[in-house]
Amino acid sequence: MPTVQANGIDVYYEVQGEGEPLVLIPYLAADQACYAFQVAEYAKHFTCFTVDLRGAGLSGKPEGTYTTELLADDVAAFMQAAGVDRAHVAGLSLGAATGMWLAAKHPERVASLSLHSAWDSTDPFLRGVVETWRTMAQGLGSVTDMAIQGIFPWCFTPELYAARPEYIDSLADFVRGRPMPPVDAFLRQSQAVLGHDAREVLGAIRAPTLITFGERDMVTSTRFAGPLTAAIPGADLAVFENCAHAPIYEDVDGFNQRTLAFLRQHSG
């Protein structure tokens, strides 16, 4: 199991594929396997480095204050330790928040930037949603159960629940089979979501950037599209119809085609 020391913690990662390096940053509470449906396609064109963030998966979960800036510094240190000088960088939700800090603070590391279900600064609605997840995690005593009962309904549309209940069940089984964080680590990692504010650094991003949203997302809805596209020079915008917070699962083919086209456009 490949692990490197980076920024004072153990960082677990996996590598698949060949081509230019692509670093995939997970979302809240998830481990690197969350991009399984994407890596299957991306690895045909890129060397995919999927990484566990601080506080999740098999990476270190030290005490202390977690911020999206700190998580970005972790990823930069991971890249150095793993011998990845420069890479395409993609992330969803917390992974996107981490990616924007990485591109702003460590521009030499980022060849292109893909921000999925992203937001520039946590607003009162997003704060309320995440606080609910934190309360549920503590009440249930299980991040796994909280994710399935509390986070899933924000990630998928009611129509998907109705039309493909077996698919929802399979995703729940997938979560149950992964190394989910203990409650205390989840609380630290979710604090990074609550405190996220990258507004002052977004203008420093120079990498070609793709910003995507689910049309029916409420958590990080298209209310954040304007601020992000206005702040990041030359950013492209794509909206996936009939998707909520997780188009990576709700429209796998459409998501993969659009994001891979962007990645290939900016490679070579």
Q: What is the pLDDT of residues 182-216, one digit of tens each?
A: 999 999 999 999 999 999 999 999 999 999 999 99
Report whether 120 contacts 202 (CB < 8 A): yes
Output the pLDDT for position 99: 98
Q: How many CB atoms lie within 10 A of CB 166?
A: 8
Report the distance separating Cα 10 and Cα 48, nearest Å. Answer: 19
- What average pLDDT is seen over the chain? 98
Which helix (H) or strand (E) is 39 found in, with range? helix 36-42
Orientation angle between helical segments 124-140 and 183-194, nearest 10 degrees: 180
Question: pLDDT band for position 1 (50/70/90)?
Answer: low
* 98-145 residue pLDDT tens: 999 999 999 999 999 999 999 999 999 999 999 999 999 999 999 999
Residue appearing with tokens 């309904």: 153
Residue with tokens 């490949």: 2
Which 8-state DSSP code applies to residue 224? G
- Work out the pLDDT band at 48, boundaries 50, 70, 90: very high
Q: Does the pLDDT of residue 232 top 70, yes or no?
A: yes
What is the DSSP track for 157-220?
-HHHHHH-HHHHHHHHHHHHTS-PPPHHHHHHHHHHHHT-B-TTTGGG--S-EEEEEETT-STT
- The confidence score (pLDDT) of residue 57 equals 98
Which residues, including other chains, have CB under 8 Å from residue 20's CB and lie 6 or more apart? 46, 47, 87, 88, 111, 267, 268
Q: What is the mean pLDDT of residues 2-15?
A: 97
What pLDDT does residue 143 have?
A: 98
CA distance 117 to 121: 13
pLDDT of residue 59: 98
Name the token pair of 167: 């698919």
Q: How confident is the model over 151-166, as pLDDT tens digits?
A: 999 999 999 999 999 9
Considering the entire predicted model, what is its pTM? 0.98
pLDDT more than 90, % of the chain: 99
